[in-house]
Amino acid sequence: MNEIIESVKNLSIGFNSQKGKQISILRNVSTNIKKGETVGIVGESGSGKSTLALAMMGYIKQGLFPLKGECLFKSKDLLKMSSRQLEKIRGRKIAMIPQNAGQALTPNLKIGYQIDEALKLHTDLNKTERDKKISELLNKVRLPSPETMAFRYPHELSGGQQQRVAVAMALAGKPDLLLLDEPTTGLDVTTQAHVLELLRFIAKDTGTSMIYVSHDLGAIAQVSDRIVVMYAGEIVLEGPARKILKEPIHPYTYGLLKSIPKLSLAGLPASMPGSQPQPGSINEGCSFYDRCNLATDNCKKNSPDLEHIKELDTNVRCFNYKELINQNNNLQTSITKKSNNSEANEVLKLKDVSISYAKQKFFDQLLNKISDQNPTVKDINIDIKKGETIALVGESGSGKSTILKSIAGLLKTKDGQIKFENDRILSSDLKMRNPNDLRAIQLIFQNPDESLNPNHTVEQILSQPLKLYFNLSGEELKKNIIDLLKKVRLGEFYMSRYPRQLSGGEKQRVAVARAFAAKPDIILCDEVTSALDVSVQAAVLNLLQQLKEDLGTTYVFVSHDLAVVRAISDRVAVLYQGRLCEIGPSQNVYKFPSHPYTEVLLGAVLEPDPDIKPKLVAEDIVEEKPPEKGCSFQGRCPRKIGDICNSEIPPWQIGENGNAIRCHINIEELASLQQ
Amino acid sequence: MLLLILKRIGLGLITLFIVSLITFVGVEVLPGDACTTYLEREAYGAALDACIKRLGLDVPAYERYLDWASNVVRGDFGYSLSGEMPINEVLGPRVKNSLVLASVSILIGIPLAIILGIITALWRDKLPDIMISTITIFSMTIPEFISATLLILIVAIWLGWLPGIVIIPSDATFYELLSNIILPVVAISMIMTAHMARMVRSSVIQVMASDYVQMAILKGVPYWKMVFRHVLPNALLPAINVVALTIAWLLGGVVVTEVVFNYPGLGRLVIESISNRDLPVVQALAIILASIYVGINLIADLMTLMLNPRLKSLQIRK
Ligand SMILES: Nc1ncnc2c1ncn2[C@@H]1O[C@H](COP(=O)(O)OP(=O)(O)O)[C@@H](O)[C@H]1O
Ligand code: SF4
Ligand code: SF4
Ligand SMILES: [Mg+2]
């Protein structure tokens, strides 16, 4: 167990800036990987995790080059090897499982071929033995019908299946070390939990060492024996997983853990100010100085070394780490949020709403109707109160964004009505809505890079809605823009910036400011924090909550992340295949009884705690279409009771906790099953 | 899949029908008719009557269109005015000449372009790329008539190695043709190869930067194997359509080159018949050129469909 497989020594990697300056993005990184051990490397995007992982295979991305240090694999430096020598090691001794298997599998080659290629390169098996091995491998990663699977092209598989193929391919050469770069990012929650479970099983079964790179402490917590925390290209904390997660003694890790919303905790997570410095902008002092609440003058001038603390078996890069020892109780706190006034009137009602993406047939077009018997979204009934935050939760394809688009008037409804204020029916066609209704409902998108015009300055972006809805100009316009920026905690000087000059969190703030510029009654938030790092996510969540408390805005908040939903929302609606499964106050959705689908989702949540393991109750299959009749969840339901689920739409039942649940199982029975 | 092919063929036929209609109507609405345009000042009295009779201009327009169209479908384009002989006889040798010129240029130019494109991409920013890219960009920017004239000046006049202009009897054998067309082929290939090589280069570079190529490297796939199995099939797929357009452009006659070298191909025929106001020939050429474009693009689309597993299975599922 103590044999070292690979050791990185004082590694620095950098690039030449346009001004000819040498800028390092990895600085003096040293670490060891032992046999049979899984090491998690965690950090925000841009912290150098991927660069480090790739360097450990002797691969340096184009444009970058090693400045100093070495990567010793079995005491030979990978960075000095010829490509011939590396071919012998890659895939055979060290194998990679990429972030996005969908893009990492060659599109014109069948998956059987791609696995066979690895077998041919790295084993001496003959053709029949290899064919058998391919089936074996596909079986091992738990893909259905391995025989036919081998003849499929990558695009014919779902995201989770592609990721499994990548795992099978990596295992083909029986490597000693597996490198995984964000292997579950971008997968659905349930799929993610399944893939992690598979990886844990493989690590145990084959004794392979693993390096697991991720920005997600929840995922890291599930697989790692040891954790390395990176910040701005440096290791800031390194030690046994349990210690790092439960008693983090570096201010960055501490703040990171606090900013993750947790299922067990009501209220919003605390956020860390600021963002990670850009490579090249760190001159002297500690790179975390700007964001650190323990910083002293010493930190500004001197940069701390990575110090080994024997009794904790931990390396830490901080002058003041002692202040954090035994502070772990504070980790379990959060910011309580003001609950909304439940007496308030309803502002938005969805009544029997169905939405279809089916192409209109010619005759239907003439009659202006849609005759789809099995629409993507069906029979949605939700009443939303003023000042309330209602969350729509479900895996990808569950129809969350579809419903948002319909409320915004971007997508026609097939049946049903959307009623706004005093039961006035809103046309589902944007062009038929009056300007005031358009102003009253605003959207914020997942990816600010796509929703902000790259050629406009922040000032131009924010002035558009102000001009359009309020006819402002001159001094007044400027004053309003500055006010808006202040609301989202951005200084006046941001006015002249372009989106590319902003960090991810700043961009999302500008998007929030743009939505608020219209003084809307309702804001539709579509996965607004999914593309952000956790520390930034916490800041945006707190910002949204603050604005709502000040201005009384109503949010419809779409997310796949139950923990985030728990933190921000007052009420949760759970969707599967475009049908409502459960709806209720968010503090209760996490209490049983739950709809079987909610139970599956709750079980799959990854908490940054090695003691809380996900419960995998349902298969992670992907359904392309909702079932024609019966319960929408019949295809995957682990509690399915029989034919009635296939034939009849289940009734709504109200549980003890006030949740409405749509299931054929009697609600009391469900409660006792879930105890 | 079959349905899709039929649909594409149907669409092609409709395109051709529309082209034929447009050319016919275009000729029809021009002031005067084929005879007055052709006979010019002598367009009166017996000569005009005879001409009208000969071309059948005395029947209503739609009847003439139907008549003409049905003949075209049977492969008969009617009579040329200037040569006073069947258009088929005028076209025959021209089509053959263009075909020879085009096929030789294609056989040399396309493989060369692909090879150069790949070399420049794989040795990106190294010496081979810098040298080849400079030459390709250079030959892309010089207009054809200049490069063609320069070729004549240097090779034919100063060095005296090859004839400067092409003089071939209409019954020339393929071999005779070949020795005559070296210079035109070089002139055409220069531009064509340069354009295509640039395209292949950027396509290969793009694929080389993809995640799946990085994955193949990290899997330990040897370099050349990776290039041939993982890079080229994906990089050359989008090139098919560009190659098709180039072939169509070549078959349709490379007007400038043909004129400079006095090469009797389709391109020059277009110029000649327009300046002679030989409207029946213009009509015939319009249909032929349109058919070439439609046909070749159809083939290219079908090939892309066959070779791209993504599109293939999409179609099958539907
Ligand atoms: N080819 C490159 N040229 C210049 N900078 C790069 C290149 N690749 C990555 N970087 C920079 O290196 C830093 C770390 O990148 P990366 O290792 O991908 O981080 P992570 O995996 O933690 O998100 C980032 O600031 C990124 O912008
Ligand atoms: S060295 Fe100072 S600034 Fe850096 S993390 Fe520690 S306390 Fe904070
Ligand atoms: S109705 Fe049946 S299939 Fe649907 S959730 Fe209940 S038990 Fe499962
Ligand atoms: Mg990364």
A598-610 confidence digits (pLDDT tens): 999 988 888 888 8
Helix (H, G, I), strand (E, B) or coil at A385: strand
* Ligand 3 site residues, Cβ closer than 6 angstroms: A 596, 631, 633-634, 637, 639-641, 645, 650, 663-665
Ligand nearest to the CA of A504: 1
* Class of residue A237 by CB neighbours under 10 A (exposed 0-12, middle 13-18, buried 19+): buried
The pLDDT of residue A194: 87
Q: Is residue A491 in a domain? A: yes
DSSP state of A428: S
Sheet holding A377-385, edge to edge: A377-385, A346-355, A415-420, A424-426
Q: Which of B211, B219, B230 sits opposite A100 (nearest CB)?
A: B211
Share of chain A above pLDDT 90, in %: 46
**Which residue has the least CA distance to atom 2 on ligand 1?**
A63
Is the confidence at residue A166, as pLDDT, over 70?
Answer: yes
Lowest mean pLDDT among A218-232, A651-665, B156-170: B156-170
Contacts of B131 by beta carbon, 8 Å cutoff, 6+ apart: none
Answer whether B81's CB lies under 8 Å from B275's CB: no
Q: For residues A221, A223, A229 and A235, what is the CA-based torsion angle, rounded to 10 degrees?
A: 160
Q: Is the CB of A18 under 6 A from ligand 1?
A: no
Is the confidence at residue B84, as pLDDT, over 60?
Answer: yes
* One domain, residues A251 and A372: no
The pLDDT of residue B317: 38
Cα(B263)–Cα(B185) distance, integer angstroms: 11
* One domain, residues A187 and A123: no
What is the greatest pairwise CA distance in chain B?
Answer: 86
Show the domain range for A352: 339-527+544-555
Q: Which of B123, B212, B310 to mutate to test the interface with A (most CBs of A within 10 A)?
A: B212
* One domain, residues A379 and A413: yes
- Ligand 2 atom nearest to A299, measured from its CA: 2
The pLDDT of residue B32: 62
Share of chain A above pLDDT 70, in %: 96
> How many Cα atoms are found within 13 Å in the side-chain-facing hemisphere of A674?
25
Let me know the angle formed at the C-alpha of A74 by A70 and A75, rounded to the nearest 5 degrees: 50
The Cα-based distances of A495 to A339, A355, A491, A498, B99 in angstroms read 34, 40, 8, 8, 63
Model confidence at B316, in pLDDT bands (50, 70, 90)?
A: very low
Q: Is residue A425 in a domain? A: yes
Mean per-residue pLDDT over chain B, rounded: 80
Model confidence at B62, in pLDDT bands (50, 70, 90)?
A: confident
Using DSSP bridges, classify how beta strands A314-316 and A234-240 pair: parallel, antiparallel or unpaired. Answer: antiparallel
Q: Is the CB of A504 under 6 A from ligand 1?
A: no
CB-based contact B220 A86, cutoff 8 Å: yes
Model confidence at A672, in pLDDT bands (50, 70, 90)?
A: confident
Cα(B316)–Cα(A428) distance, integer angstroms: 35
Is the confidence at residue A328, as pLDDT, over 70?
Answer: no
Is the confidence at residue A376, as pLDDT, over 70?
Answer: yes
Q: Calculate mean pLDDT across residues A179-202.
A: 86
Mean per-residue pLDDT over chain A, rounded: 88
What are the percentages of helix, strand and coil residues in chain B, rounded to 5?
80, 0, 20
Look at A212 and B84; give whichever has higher pLDDT.
A212
Is the confidence at residue B26, as pLDDT, over 90?
Answer: no
The pLDDT of residue A395: 86
The pLDDT of residue B167: 67
Nearest CA in chain B to A120: B221
* One domain, residues A634 and A497: no
- Quick one: CATH architecture of B92-276? Orthogonal Bundle (1.10)
Angle between helices B279-307 and B309-317 in degrees, nearest 10? 90
* One domain, residues A404 and A493: yes
CB pairs under 8 A between A and B: 82
Spacing, Cα A15 to ligand 2 middle (Å)? 27
* Class of residue B195 by CB neighbours under 10 A (exposed 0-12, middle 13-18, buried 19+): middle
Nearest CA in chain A to B311: A155
Q: Give the distance from residue B207's alpha carbon to the nearest chain A alpha carbon, in angstroms.
A: 10
Look at A569 and B35; give whichever has higher pLDDT.
A569
* One domain, residues A669 and A588: yes
DSSP state of B237: T
* One domain, residues A129 and A23: no
Look at B176 and A84; give whichever has higher pLDDT.
A84
Model confidence at B318, in pLDDT bands (50, 70, 90)?
A: very low
Cα(B35)–Cα(B55) distance, integer angstroms: 8
What are the φ/ψ torsions at residue B84 (nearest 5 degrees)? 50, 45
Model confidence at A1, in pLDDT bands (50, 70, 90)?
A: low
DSSP state of A456: S
Q: Which of A91, A155, A156 sits opposite B219 (nearest CB)?
A: A91
- Ligand 2 atom nearest to A289, measured from its CA: 3
CA torsion through residues A495, A496, A499, A504, sign: negative
Where do the H-state alpha helices sit in A501-561? 504-517, 534-551
Q: Give the distance from residue B13's alpha carbon to the nearest chain A alpha carbon, in angstroms.
A: 25
Q: Calculate mean pLDDT across residues A575-592.
A: 88
* One domain, residues A505 and A481: yes
Q: Is the CB of A474 under 6 A from ligand 1?
A: no
Q: Is it true that the peptide bond before B60 is cis, omega within 30 degrees of 0?
A: no
Q: Where residue A433 sits, what CATH number does that domain have?
A: 3.40.50.300
**Cβ under 8 Å to A: B residues 207-236:** 209-223, 229-230, 233-234
Cα(A345)–Cα(A385) distance, integer angstroms: 6
Q: Give the distance from residue B308's alpha carbon to the nearest chain A alpha carbon, in angstroms.
A: 7
Nearest CA in chain B to A84: B222
Is the confidence at residue A312, as pLDDT, over 90?
Answer: no
Cα(A84)–Cα(A88) distance, integer angstroms: 7
Q: Calculate mean pLDDT across residues A412-426.
A: 86
**Which residue has the least CA distance to atom 4 on ligand 3?**
A631
Is the confidence at residue A362, as pLDDT, over 80?
Answer: no
Instruction: Select from A173, A204, A224 the last residue of a domain.
Output: A173
The pLDDT of residue A520: 93
pLDDT, tens digit (0-9, with 9 covering 90-100), for A610-650: 888 888 877 777 777 888 889 999 989 999 998 999 999 99
- Quote the number of domains for chain A: 4
* One domain, residues A314 and A446: no
Where do the H-state alpha helices sit in B42-157? 45-55, 61-73, 87-122, 127-141, 144-151
Buried b (16+ CB within 10 A) or exposed e, A287-311: bbbebbebbeeebeeebbebeeeee
Is the confidence at residue A663, as pLDDT, over 50?
Answer: yes
Is the confidence at residue A298, as pLDDT, over 80?
Answer: yes
**Contacts of range B294-301, beta carbons closer than 8 Å, 24 or more positions apart:** B294/B12, B294/B15, B294/B16, B295/B12, B296/B244, B296/B245, B296/B247, B296/B248, B296/B251, B297/B241, B297/B244, B297/B245, B297/B248, B298/B8, B298/B9, B298/B12, B299/B244, B300/B240, B300/B241, B300/B243, B300/B244, B301/B8, B301/B241
* One domain, residues A270 and A395: no
The pLDDT of residue A367: 59
The pLDDT of residue A410: 87
Max mean pLDDT among A622-626, B47-51, B182-186 falls in B182-186
CB-based contact B219 A117, cutoff 8 Å: yes
Spacing, Cα A418 to ligand 2 middle (Å)? 53
Contacts of A418 by beta carbon, 8 Å cutoff, 6+ apart: A348, A349, A350, A351, A353, A406, A407, A425, A426, A428
Model confidence at B255, in pLDDT bands (50, 70, 90)?
A: confident
CB-based contact B308 A95, cutoff 8 Å: no
- Ligand 2 atom nearest to A294, measured from its CA: 7
* One domain, residues A205 and A68: yes
The pLDDT of residue A100: 81
The pLDDT of residue A457: 93
The Cα-based distances of A165 to A114, A192, B309 in angstroms read 9, 14, 18
Share of chain B above pLDDT 90, in %: 14
B27 contacts chain A (CB < 8 A): no
Sheet holding A522-526, edge to edge: A441-444, A522-526, A554-559, A389-393, A571-576, A579-585, A660-662, A652-654
Answer whether A544's CB lies under 8 Å from A533's CB: no
CB-based contact B217 A169, cutoff 8 Å: no
Model confidence at A341, in pLDDT bands (50, 70, 90)?
A: low
Using DSSP bridges, classify how beta strands A424-426 and A209-214 pair: parallel, antiparallel or unpaired. Answer: unpaired
Cα(B59)–Cα(B78) distance, integer angstroms: 16
Here the ipTM equals 0.75
Look at B41 and A81; give whichever has higher pLDDT.
A81
The pLDDT of residue A340: 61
pLDDT, tens digit (0-9, with 9 covering 90-100), for B264-283: 888 888 888 878 777 778 88
* One domain, residues A181 and A165: no
Model confidence at A75, in pLDDT bands (50, 70, 90)?
A: confident
**Which residue has the least CA distance to atom 23 on ligand 1?**
A45
Look at A265 and A304; give whichever has higher pLDDT.
A304
The pLDDT of residue A343: 66
The pLDDT of residue A525: 94
Look at A615 and A178; give whichever has higher pLDDT.
A178
Residues on A contacting B at a C-beta cutoff of 8 Å: 54, 57, 59, 62, 83, 86-92, 95-96, 98-100, 103-110, 117-118, 121-122, 153, 155-156, 166, 169, 173
Q: Give the distance from residue B81's alpha carbon to the nearest chain A alpha carbon, in angstroms.
A: 50
Residues in A closer than 8 angstroms to B234, CB to CB, are 106-108
The pLDDT of residue A224: 94
CB-based contact B217 A91, cutoff 8 Å: no
Q: Is the CB of A289 under 6 A from ligand 1?
A: no
pLDDT, tens digit (0-9, with 9 covering 90-100), for A510-565: 999 999 999 999 999 998 888 788 888 898 899 899 888 888 899 999 998 888 99
Tell me the one-letter amino acid at A274.
G
Q: Which of A57, A99, A107 sits opposite B310 (nearest CB)?
A: A107
Nearest CA in chain A to B306: A108
Q: Is residue A534 in a domain? A: no
Is the confidence at residue A405, as pLDDT, over 70?
Answer: yes
Owner of token pair 């009544």: A351
CB-based contact A104 B211, cutoff 8 Å: yes
Using DSSP bridges, classify how beta strands A4-16 and A22-34 pair: parallel, antiparallel or unpaired. Answer: antiparallel
Answer whether A484's CB lies under 8 Å from A513's CB: yes
Surrounding residues of ion ligand 4, Cβ less than 5 A: A 50
| H/E element, A448 | helix A448-451
Domain ranges of chain B: 2-73, 92-276
CB-based contact A98 B233, cutoff 8 Å: no
The first and second tokens of residue B211, run together, are 């995640």
Nearest CA in chain A to B220: A87
pTM of the model: 0.80
